[in-house]
Structure 1
């Protein structure tokens, strides 16, 4: 008689916030899968729903509470984890029925809470976890988290109080994970942490043996090793560095970009340029030196794309400070820029600073910085028209009913997924799929995106 395999309990997952949270969600789901749980695509089919929350800004907390409320209404059996887990009293006051609440990257506690709420059914017949774990991103790109926490104490940020001080992963563990991801089909690795440049500072750059040689837990060593990886087709995957503070050793990774070992892209959270605002923010920065370094980076690697984000309306920011930032942006000519209106976050030191900027002034400055950066972006993209650039394909459209032509959405090396622009393609032909990498001729551009055709 055939053995009847019992139905496994099903888990639903809502993951909010940054890519670092997404990596946490993937790790939790991978562990649950290995314990025999199935995944549910909707509330109705789930025995338990996990909500991985974001608690960085008040607006993010609102979104997290809404997501918990929706999960409670639709399912009722909810476990809360993530950054807002540190505010269990706020969550319990609003949703006393939640089954459990755990903090950021507390994988064991989350898994134990799921076991308590819906015990796993042991089954020796089913091997449940794919090699490399479960992924919430498309197969062709993956986030590679190298550390947790942060040693900075920026006055507007509560991340260290949520996630603690910097804790770096072992370099051999990072490289082994990267190797597995590429072997499983990843064509683009996005290196993330709270502070990628500080990787290994806490372990004194502890060296480990890797492929018969000693490699330090240091951003430059890690970048060089990631540049040696090859996909099944023998190509170098794109390797993108995010959340890079401009410490002096960042200069050493630019030649790796010029050599093609790293994607020519740096995500640097500058936050502002005015010395007085940076001081109030408690940011490590020297904005004049940074401009000359950016110029040198572009000399070494002309194709380097630099993305950043800025806060406008920080307490004490004067019109002169804001104008200083606009002038700095004119000189820096950054490729990709995001801006945020300052929001007080409960527990952040910045809330007590004098000189609160009125909301209407914040809004007006936000519109001005977006206008300025859109104009810079449009000019930089216009300069790419007529060039042939490599792209990675994210999505292929349906064939047109009239002429059969197929369009697609791709990204250039200057575009990180979900935060930067796209390259919209026409006439890609049949047989193309997500993750394909090929050259395209750029035919047109607007403020943020490029348009082209396979070369």
Structure 2
């Protein structure tokens, strides 16, 4: 009997470096899923890969520098590099710095990336292999996954070039979204993180679309989608939600326990003058009223937001107004960025750019206010029993997150001595100690 030539043929392996936000991570997962479906293996090392894909970030200059550095490292360690992602729209800069890259594509150009892989490492098909699980391949732990519901954005914020990179809003068909979510639930995913560039705008471009879901029609709107996802038995967490009026409709779903009481809203600032310069909604006094109303409906609501300090023209008065608003709004989880020019952004041309040392001082002051607010809210949880999801377990205990904590960006709940748990377990915990953004506790029955 002759040897089976298919089994003697080496299966090509592809490595990937994924930079930037969770939306880029989903792009990486989709690329890997397509490659795995064609028989490729995924390599976790440079030297074990036949080629390396670098999925870049191109929003801030610091992110572009990190992307160029990652490309250079991949070239030095492997030599065969395919570049994709947001910085891929600036192919000239990439090739000027790294002329030996094999191919450059922009964001969510999955087939072009796969074609580039074919050129350097042709696939070896084997129909006997079970190539791809129904839920696809993921770069996250098995118990949580990102669900991207749309691409692009219709906003034109003066500091942002995302619409120029990823285009205007394009919502995924609602039946595709629901089917993917159901596959993830069947695969054992316990937490679903809903993401897009503008989650609240989902369906605005496909207003009359709907899907038949569990015997009833579900319209392509964020609120109806959230309600349908809440029927799958997973934690459902909403990210990147602009404060549209219809966001009020999702708060009762949180109060009823259908989705997590968590809203990630990029407020960016509180000074009307700065917000107008940013081309953002400028009525933050009205937002305070809405936040109070949300918390009356859903007392457990946790709000996460990001802010920019040092925006061109931001005065001491503007910054003090931001601090006062932050203290009054009682934002649970805060991220902050020091403004920097982005190539092609209209804000570059604004007058009165803020000195770097002033940006640094304002950043530190804002984060200290955020820490104090979060610490006060954390202290109030001592003695309470809450549900947490387990992320990691070692010989000293477990690392978990509460419903108020998204992975990577928020706090943790530490369970010292709890070694009999598994990642993905959802357990009830009594809080014993709190500090800043983190909690400590023990499992209760």
Normalising to structure 1: TM-score of the pair?
0.96
Partners of 1:338 and 1:201 in 2: how far apart? Answer: 28
- Which residue in the other structure is 2:183 paired with? 180
Alignment partner of 1:408 is 2:398: yes
- Which residue in the other structure is 2:165 paired with? 162
Q: How does 1:335-414 map to 2 (within 5 A)?
A: 335-398=332-395, 406-414=396-404
Deviation at 1:286, TM superposition (A): 1.8
Partners of 1:127 and 1:426 in 2: how far apart? Answer: 40
Q: 1:115 to 1:200 in 2, by over 3 A?
A: same
Deviation at 1:285, TM superposition (A): 4.0
Q: 1:172 to 1:323 in 2, by over 3 A?
A: same
Partners of 1:7 and 1:239 in 2: how far apart? Answer: 41
Note if contact 1:427-1:454 (Cα within 8 Å) is conserved in structure 2: no
Residues 15-53 of structure 1: CA deviation (Å, up to 9, x unaligned): 000000000000000000001111111000110100000
Aligned with residue 250 of structure 1, among 244, 247, 250: 247
- Which residue in the other structure is 1:114 paired with? 117
Once the two structures are overlaid, the 10-residue window that deviates more, 12-21 or 276-285, is 276-285
SS in 2 for 1:45: coil
Alignment partner of 1:433 is 2:422: yes
SS in 1 for 2:231: coil
Aligned with residue 447 of structure 1, among 416, 428, 436: 436
SS in 1 for 2:394: strand
SS in 2 for 1:104: coil
5+ long unaligned stretches in structure 1:
230-235, 399-405
- Which residue in the other structure is 2:19 paired with? 16
Alignment partner of 1:303 is 2:300: yes
Residues 111-144 of structure 1: CA deviation (Å, up to 9, x unaligned): 1111111111122222211221111000000000
SS in 2 for 1:202: coil
Once the two structures are overlaid, the 10-residue window that deviates more, 41-50 or 203-212, is 203-212
Note if contact 1:189-1:237 (Cα within 8 Å) is conserved in structure 2: yes
- Which residue in the other structure is 1:100 paired with? 103
Aligned with residue 38 of structure 2, among 35, 38, 52: 35
5+ long unaligned stretches in structure 2:
none
Note if contact 1:205-1:218 (Cα within 8 Å) is conserved in structure 2: no
* Alignment coverage as a number of residue pairs: 441
Partners of 1:286 and 1:247 in 2: how far apart? Answer: 12
Note if contact 1:340-1:366 (Cα within 8 Å) is conserved in structure 2: yes
Q: 1:120 to 1:429 in 2, by over 3 A?
A: closer
- Which residue in the other structure is 2:55 paired with? 52
Q: 1:80 to 1:250 in 2, by over 3 A?
A: same
